Structure 1
Amino acid sequence: MKVIQAFWLAILGLWANKFRVLSAMMGIVIGLFAVMVLISIAVGAKDMLMRQMGNLGAEQILVMPGRVLDDANGQKDLLSGLTSVPSTLTYEDAEAVRAVPGVERVVPQLETVANIDYGDTRVQGMIVGTTTGYAEVQHAAVAEGSFFAEEDQGKNVVVLGRNVHDGLLGITQQDGGGGEAAPGGEDKPWWQKWLSGLTAEASEPMLVGKTIMIGETEYSVAGVLEPNATLGSSTDNTVVMPIETALANTDMTYLNKMIVEADSLDVIDQVDGAVFSAIAAQHSEIDFSVVKQEQMLGAVGKVTTVLQVMLAGITATALLISGMGILNVMVMSVRERTREIGIRKALGATTFEILLQFFFETLLLCLVGGAIGIACGYAFIELWNANVTIFALSLPMWAVQLGLGVTAVIGGIFGVYPALKAARMKPSKALRFE
């Protein structure tokens, strides 16, 4: 019963000093808010990276220019980066890899930047020369028309990314994605741009079947891709064409990368070695790397582990500072309520009851502040996810439980000293306190 009574007295004590309690609580609120947002950013970024790396299935292998050095255990150390050498990978290398037993599919990629023209409108985009497997590897769905077929190799056909397509029509302008705006559209008010966008969309909603210019060459638009604006692997700003067309019509010679898919996981190790040997046989030196999906995921895991350790340090520092602030506030509260403590002791309150009351006050202050901070963090995450598309924030339940648990521990630790200070007061001195 004494514990319950002390708990209710703690609630009444906090309610009687609302403004001081709110000011003391702000430290915990801000600390927990920051912790929740930082954890959600870390988890969201990790999930995004894992999904993007997961675009390559477990049975897929990435071949890229440059050497990935091995660590002391003989494993590829992707965190050390690639050696800086120009690409010497060729389409012939891709054809050699395609002949390796156990290889299901090879998706080579050539990349360059070029101006794309449609009528009087010009945008800049990434030109990608590849094969039909590109759409599946990039998880790129076609919104209108179709992706080019294997028999279209050598033909002047392209598939447009969403930003490039809309930029050519003057529908939308994406910073860093669609290039230049349509002539005369830079200084228009927002409502004129909106109206012109509606007009463009109504009169010419898609460029499928139309002809665009890349350099001095005409290309027929076979399809338009769905938007898939993900950090680092978006197709929104690309113009995809058959690789043989790209080799014939552009100055691209060497591959930026190729993705190799094995028949199954059972043969992935054998295919990995055979792919390396097939390419090495055509090169005078080893100036490329063959990396399995599990090795790339391992590198991402190391990075996210470092990030989580950093966040743990930031969390501990923020909550420690918040706890020190609450300790100071509660010590001042004990001093201001010295006469109250003296009167209660004179009326028969025990040292244990006084100790419990002030201990519960500190604990409740921390827990309520922590709950408010978590609620504010959750509201921020929901607001972010509703308005920002680059990547989604994710707040795992363990973070909420950890936040409340840590605030309870802080309340317990920093509540002991003011509680003991109040409980040890002698009634005679407390009653004479001015």
Structure 2
Amino acid sequence: MIFGEIIRIALRALTVNKLRSLLTMLGIIIGISTATVLISAGQAVERYIYDLFAGIGTNVLFVVPGQLTENQDPTAEPRFGELTLSDARALSNPLLVPDMVMVAPEADAKATIVRGDEALEVDLIAIAPQHKDIRGWDTQIGEFFSQVDMDSRRRVAILGQTAFQSLYSPNENPLDTQIRVDGVVFNVVGVMNEIGMSQFGNRDNSVFLPFTTAMDRVLDWKTTRGDYKVTQILVSVSSEDRMAQAQIDIEEALRERHRIDYFEEDDFSVISQTDFIGVFGDITAVVTVFLGAISFVSLLVGGIGIMNIMLVSVAERTREIGLRKAIGARRRDILQQFLAEAVFLSVLGGIFGMALGALVMRAADSQITALQLTLQVSTVAGVVAFCMATGILFGFWPAVQASRLSPISALRSE
């Protein structure tokens, strides 16, 4: 039997009872739509995470206080330990870290900024002038901090985009206006370009202060020896190829400074962009596999539904099968016909499922713009191939049953 004839007969058989065919495809539709949304969401999250940490820079190492857990998860709660401004200055010594380009201390805290009658809860980020080059941060309005601001501990502030929009009208110039940060008066000297989310939170809803100013006038984070504490130290490395060696040099320098014995664990951790991406990628993969397993259950139910309805179809069309065999149809022809019907049911269910999934993603994308949910060509191809395999797998036994019918017995059946 030619391929076109097989398709024509299969389509005619499915359209005889449209409602039954639709109900049979329902399990496939639900399973495929769920799988499509989950796969696309997983891909979107991976892209989002990569873009999120790509902004860090490929040649930047983060030194944070405390030793991470045994699995080296950068998102885990660190063990006891602290870093200081003196540590940052030591790491800026090229004799200790030859591959170092520049170093910047950073401190992160919560604060309340007030302008007039408006009060806003924000992240307070104490930074150094080197952040402009290391992180690629710059001002949209005004100027970035200078070394003079750091050395003289000037009370100047740069607002993040969200903080600026919350405290000022659209056409208002914020430069040389005053705000209070936890009760301390600061002059606004700039508004930061949009930064977005980072591994440490929303940088746009922030106020940026010179590191030394923040420490002396707002935070008062000092060790018992009077040194400034830091949340993290950013180290820019000369090239990506030198990252591993730079990490070793940083660890050796800090172990010596912190007087850590050979058999003792570090009280700090050195993390790269790759570490962050790897950990969050692993988490995303686990969640995607788990949710994919749930989708597989729906597809399994849909496949069983196809097998059941095909067995019913074989029983209802016994005389038709007998007649076709009597006029010369071979077992292979009957087998191909029923397999084609099962595959059509599965593939059509998959197409409807992808369409439903695309509608769900479109609705979700309008609400969650950051993820940019899209249906990839690879996903479509994978779904079609999977549906064809499902149709063949669950339609094979009914097709075999139909092909084995004796024409004499089939024609005698009522």
Same fold per superposition (TM over 0.5) = yes
Q: CA deviation at 1:372?
A: 2.3
Contact 1:230 1:390 in 2 (8 A): no
1:370-389 pair list within 5 angstroms = 370-389=350-369
Distance 1:267 1:352 in 2: 64
Distance 2:314 2:147 in 1: 80
Match of 1:197? Answer: none
1:234-245 pair list within 5 angstroms = 234-245=202-213
Distance 1:371 1:229 in 2: 37
> Are residues 1:219 and 2:186 paired?
yes
1:303-322 pair list within 5 angstroms = 303-311=283-291, 313-322=293-302
Q: Aligned with 2:257: secondary structure?
A: coil
> Are residues 1:96 and 2:71 paired?
no
Q: CA deviation at 1:302?
A: 3.6
Q: CA deviation at 1:118?
A: 0.6
Match of 2:68? Answer: 68
Distance 1:349 1:264 in 2: 71
Moved more, 348-357 or 87-96: 348-357
Q: CA deviation at 1:56?
A: 2.8
Match of 2:113? Answer: 116
Contact 2:113 2:121 in 1 (8 A): yes
Q: CA deviation at 1:347?
A: 4.9
> Are residues 1:207 and 2:187 paired?
no
Amino acid at match of 2:4: I
Residue of 196, 199, 215 corresponding to 1:247: 215
Distance 1:137 1:380, change over 3 A: farther
> Are residues 1:401 and 2:381 paired?
yes
Distance 1:251 1:231 in 2: 22
Match of 2:146? Answer: 149
Residue of 262, 271, 283 corresponding to 2:258: 283
Distance 1:351 1:82, change over 3 A: same
CA deviations 1:175-198 (Å, max 9, x no partner) are xxxxxxxxxxxxxxxxxxxxxxxx
Match of 1:268? Answer: 243
Q: CA deviation at 1:93?
A: 1.3
Distance 1:355 1:307, change over 3 A: same
1:159-178 pair list within 5 angstroms = 159-169=158-168
Amino acid at match of 2:177: K
Q: CA deviation at 1:362?
A: 0.6
TM-score, normalisation: structure 1: 0.82
Contact 1:211 1:221 in 2 (8 A): yes
Distance 1:290 1:330, change over 3 A: same
Structure 2 residues not aligned, in runs of 5+: 222-228, 261-265
TM-score, normalisation: structure 2: 0.86
Distance 1:140 1:378 in 2: 37
Contact 2:103 2:236 in 1 (8 A): yes
Contact 1:231 1:391 in 2 (8 A): no
CA deviations 1:221-253 (Å, max 9, x no partner) are 122234443364421211111101101111242
Distance 2:338 2:63 in 1: 65
Moved more, 384-393 or 403-412: 384-393
Contact 1:342 1:430 in 2 (8 A): yes
Residue of 101, 104, 107 corresponding to 2:104: 107
Contact 2:38 2:288 in 1 (8 A): no
Distance 1:267 1:429, change over 3 A: closer
Q: CA deviation at 1:373?
A: 1.8
Amino acid at match of 1:131: A
Moved more, 116-125 or 380-389: 380-389
Contact 1:98 1:106 in 2 (8 A): yes
Contact 1:338 1:430 in 2 (8 A): yes
Q: Aligned with 2:219: secondary structure?
A: coil
Q: Aligned with 1:250: secondary structure?
A: helix
Distance 2:148 2:285 in 1: 46
Distance 2:350 2:198 in 1: 33
Distance 1:66 1:8 in 2: 69
Q: Aligned with 1:31: secondary structure?
A: helix
Amino acid at match of 1:381: M
Amino acid at match of 1:65: P
Q: CA deviation at 1:32?
A: 1.2
Structure 1 residues not aligned, in runs of 5+: 72-76, 170-199
Distance 1:136 1:30 in 2: 50
Distance 1:258 1:418, change over 3 A: same
Moved more, 209-218 or 240-249: 209-218
Contact 2:68 2:79 in 1 (8 A): no
Query: Alignment RMSD, CA only?
Result: 2.7
